A and B are shown apart, each in its own frame.
Chain A
Amino acid sequence: MNAFENAAPADGLTRRRGLLVPALILLLVFAALPALLAGFDKGYFYQIANLALIFVLLSASMHLVTGVAGLLHLGHAAFYGVGAYTAALLTSKLGLGFTVTLPLSGLVAALVAFLVALPTMRLVSIYFAVATLAIGQMLYLVMLNWVDFTKGPNGVIVSKGFELFGFSLSGRLGAYYTVAAVVTLSVIAIGRLSHSYYGNALRSIREDDQCADAMGVSTVRLKMEAFTLSAFFAGIAGSLWAHMTGYISPGDFKFSESILILAMVVVGGLGSLPGAVIGALLLILLPEGLRALGDFRNIMVGLVMFLSILLLPKGLLGEVSALRLVRRQLGAAWRNTGPANGKGEGIGWR
C-alpha cells in the first residue's frame, strides 16, 4: 500500500491519462449505450448489443492464448459450448439459476480444457493447432452424439433468464447490464493478465519458446495456464449465451464459430486486447449492418476481412503480423534445426 502511494506521484500524470480511456469506455458501456438502447427501445438493438458483448468476451479470451501466447487455437468454440451446455443442463436438469451456473460454466470449461491440454501441451506450432482442431471437433461430436446426456441434436431449452441470487434480471435492460457487467469484469481480468509480467512471459513464448525456455520460463506450464484460463472465460461466455437465447444446440458451437472467433482476433490484431474487442465488434456488427445488401452481405464481410489482412497484416492494432505468426507456425514443421539440436529436428513436440 505504502509502496503504491509512493510510486503514484512519480508517474501520476501518465497514470491519470491512462485511466481516462478506460473510464470513457466504462461510461459508454454502462451509461451512454444503455441510455441509447432504452431511447430506441428496440429488442433488436439490445440483442445485437448483448451478442456483440458475448463475442467480445470470446474474442478477448482467445486473444490470451492466440494473441499473447501465440498458440494457434482452432477449437475455441468447443469450450464456449462446454460452458453453454453446463449452464443449460444445470438449469434444465437441476433447476439451478444463473448465479450458480455462471461460475460453474467457467470452471467446467476450464477443467475440460485442463484435461485435454495435459497430453497436447507438449506439441508445438502447427501440431498444436491441429490438436486443438481435433479437440474442438471431439467436444462438438460429444455434444452432438451423447444423446442421453446432452440431448444431442435436439438441443436444450434453458427456461431461466438472467438472475442474481434469485432477483430477476431478465428484462431488456437487466439482461444488458448483466451481460455488460460480466463481460467487462472478464475483459478487465484478461487485460490485467496480458499486461503484466505474466503476460510478458506468455509473449516470450510467442516470440521464441526455446529462448524463453532457456531463460527459465516454464513454457509448458504457462501454455497450459493460458489455455485453461482462456477456456474459463469462453465457458463464461457460453453461460451468457445459454441464458440469453433460451435454447442451445450443438450447431451453435461448431468449427465455423471457432474460425469466426479466430478471425475476430486476427482482424483486430494479434496480441492486442483492444484489437480483439474491436475485431469482435466489427465481425458481429458488420454482417448485421449490411443486412440491407441481401445476398451480397457475406461477400462484403469476406471482402472486409480479406482487405484487412492484405492491407493491415498486423490487424487494426496488432503487435505481430498474423501472416508472420502463421508462417512461422507452419514453417516450424519443416524447420531444420540442424545438428546442434542433436535430436528431434523439425519434430512437432518437445
Chain B
Amino acid sequence: MNFRLLTLTTLTAAGIAGSAFAADTVKLGYQLPLTGDTAQYGQDFRKAAEIALTEFNAAGKPFKVEIVFEDSRSDAKEGTNIARKFVDDKEIVGVLGDFTSGVSMAAAQVYKDAGMPQLSQTASHPDYTKISKYQFRNIATQAQEGPYNAKWMATKGFKNVAVIAEQTDWGQSVVSGFSDAVKANGGTVAFSEFFNRGLKDYRSLISKIERAKPDAIYTGFFYEDGAQFLKQLQQLGIKTPVYSTSAAYSPKLIELAGGAAEGVHLTSNFLPTDPSPNVQHFVDEWKKRSDGAVPGQFPAQAYDAVRIMLAAVEKASPNPTREKVRDALAQTKDFPGVTGKTSFSADREAEKELVKVEVKGGAFVPVAD
C-alpha cells in the first residue's frame, strides 16, 4: 500500500514536472521523407520548417517550440511507426506531414484514434481530410484547381483538350477534377491517360496525344516528369500549348527543361517575385540556406503549413493540448502566408487563392489571363 502510494506520488510529481516543462517548450512532430526516392522533397520541407521555427522562437513568445523530425522514407510501414511514436510522446500536440498521400493516410488512421491534429503540406488525396476531424491540409485540391484551369483554358478558346497525369491518387484527382469541369463548360476531353512516375520515354504517349489533335494539353506532373515530357515534346516539334498545375511550379522545371519549358502555362499560389515583405523574407532566408536557389511551390506550402500550425499552438496556449490545437487549426481564417491567404473550410480543406503564371524568357511570369 505504502509502495503504491509512493509510486503514485512519484508519478504525479513526474507529471507536474512534465507539464511544467511543457509550459516552456511545446513539441510538434514532423514526419517526412528525409531519405529514399522522394528525399529531395522531405529535405526541402525540413529546411522550410526550420526557417519558420527559427523565426517563431526568435520572436520572444512566452514559450518555445521544438519540432521533432522523423524520416518516413515515403513508406507506409515507417509512417505508421512514426505516428505511433508521436502519439506516445505526450508533449507533442500537433503533427505535420507526411509528403505522399499514401503515407499520410496510413498515419492518419493512427492520429484519428489518438485525437492528434495532423496538417499535411502536400497530401492531396480526396479522402484524406474525410478520415476524421483531425486531418488538415495546406494544399489546393484538384477539385479547386481543375475547374479554375478549365475555365482559364476555355477563355483562351481551347475547347478540345487532352489530359495526362501521373498514375497516383493525385494524378487521378487531376484528371477527374479537370475533365468534369471541361465537360461542364461545354468542352470535350479528346484524350486522357495516366503514366507511371519516373517514366523516361514519353514519345509514344505524345504521339497518341497528337493523334487525338487537341487544342491544348493539360498535364498533371511534378517537375522531374514535367521536364522530361516538355523536352521530348520539343524534340518532336510539337507546338500544342501545355497547361499544368501548381505541382509543377518549381524553378527546377525550368532548370531541367531549359527552353522546352518556354510558354508553359500553369497555376500557382506562390510567387517568389512577389514584392510583399513576407514573401521576400522567406525567399531571402531560403536563398541563404540553399546556395542562392529560389524556393518552389512545395517548400512554400511547407513553410506556411508550419506557420499555420505554430499560430494554432499560440492560440491554444497556455497549456496547449491536442484538442485545443485542433480547434485552433480549424478556426484558421485568412492566414497571411507566402502562398496567399489561407482559410480552412468546414471540412478542413485549405481554400487558396490561385495565380496564373506563364514561363517567359526562362522565368515564371504572372499573367492576367
Binding site for B on A (CB under 8 A): 42-44, 46-48, 51, 144-145, 147, 152-155, 157, 245-249, 251-252, 287-288, 291, 294-295, 297-298
Contact = CB atoms under 8 A, between A and B. Distances in A.
- Give me the 6 closest cross-chain CB pairs, A-B, nearest first: A246-B109, A44-B84, A249-B102, A47-B84, A43-B84, A44-B85
B34 A295 contact: yes
Q: Among A43, A246, A247, which residue has the most Cβ atoms of chain B within 10 A?
A: A247
A154 B127 CA distance: 9
A247 B168 contact: no
A51 B88 CA distance: 17
A155 B102 contact: yes
Given A153-B168, A252-B77, A43 B88 contact: yes
A298 B35 CA distance: 8
Contact of A295 (B35, B114, B168): B35
B105 A152 contact: no
Contact of A247 (B71, B73, B106, B196): B106
Given A152-B167, A154-B169, A295-B71, A247 B105 contact: yes
Q: Among A47, A147, A288, which residue has the most Cβ atoms of chain B within 10 A?
A: A47
Nearest to B86: A44
A48 B83 CA distance: 11
A48 B80 contact: no
Interface string B340-364: 0000000000000000000000000
B87 interface: yes
B167 A155 contact: no
A79 to B, nearest CB: 17
Given A47-B81, A154-B125, A245 B35 contact: no
28 contacts: A42-B84, A42-B88, A43-B88, A43-B110, A44-B84, A44-B88, A47-B81, A47-B84, A51-B80, A147-B172, A152-B167, A153-B102, A154-B172, A155-B125, A157-B105, A157-B127, A245-B76, A245-B106, A246-B109, A247-B76, A247-B106, A248-B106, A249-B106, A287-B78, A291-B70, A291-B71, A294-B71, A297-B35
Nearest to B35: A298
Judged by DSSP, the binding face of A is: helix
A265 to B, nearest CB: 18
A145 B77 contact: no
B169 A249 contact: yes
A288 B84 CA distance: 12
A51 B77 contact: yes
Interface in B148-171: 167-169, 171
B141 interface: no
A153 B70 contact: no
Given A43-B114, A154-B126, A155-B102, 16 more contacts: A43-B110, A51-B81, A145-B167, A147-B172, A153-B169, A155-B105, A157-B131, A245-B76, A245-B106, A247-B76, A247-B105, A249-B105, A251-B75, A252-B102, A288-B81, A298-B73
Interface residues of B, number: 37
A298 B74 CA distance: 14
Nearest to B70: A291
A126 B357 CA distance: 52
A161 B208 CA distance: 45
B100 interface: yes
Contacts of B125: 154-155
B335 interface: no
B88 A152 contact: no
Given A51-B81, A245-B76, A291-B70, A145 B194 contact: yes
B87 A43 contact: yes
B247 to A, nearest CB: 15
Contacts of A155: 101-102, 105, 125, 169
Contacts of B108: 247
Contact of A47 (B73, B80, B102, B171): B80
A44 B81 contact: yes
Contact of A153 (B34, B78, B171): B171
Contact of A251 (B100, B131, B194): B100
Given A145-B167, A295-B71, A249 B127 contact: no
Contact of A249 (B73, B76, B81, B196): B76
Nearest to B81: A47
A48 B81 contact: yes
Contacts of A298: 35-36, 73
Interface string B105-119: 110111000100000
Nearest to B85: A44
A134 B87 CA distance: 40
A63 B266 CA distance: 51
A184 B347 CA distance: 43
Q: Among A153, A154, A248, which residue has the most Cβ atoms of chain B within 10 A?
A: A153
Contacts of A147: 172
A346 B88 CA distance: 58
B97 to A, nearest CB: 15
Contacts of B84: 42-44, 46-48
Nearest to A47: B84
A145 B169 CA distance: 11
B75 to A, nearest CB: 8
B355 to A, nearest CB: 28
A274 to B, nearest CB: 23
B70 A251 contact: no
B109 A247 contact: yes
Contacts of B102: 153, 155, 247, 249, 251-252
Contacts of A247: 76, 102, 105-106, 108-109
A153 B167 contact: yes
A288 B168 CA distance: 28
Nearest to B77: A51
A47 B78 CA distance: 10
B68 to A, nearest CB: 10
Contacts of A145: 167, 194
Contacts of A144: 167, 196
A235 to B, nearest CB: 18
Nearest to A155: B102
Given A43-B87, A155-B102, A245 B80 contact: yes
Contacts of A291: 70-71
Contacts of B114: 43
A221 to B, nearest CB: 35
Interface string B123-143: 001110001000000000000
A114 to B, nearest CB: 28
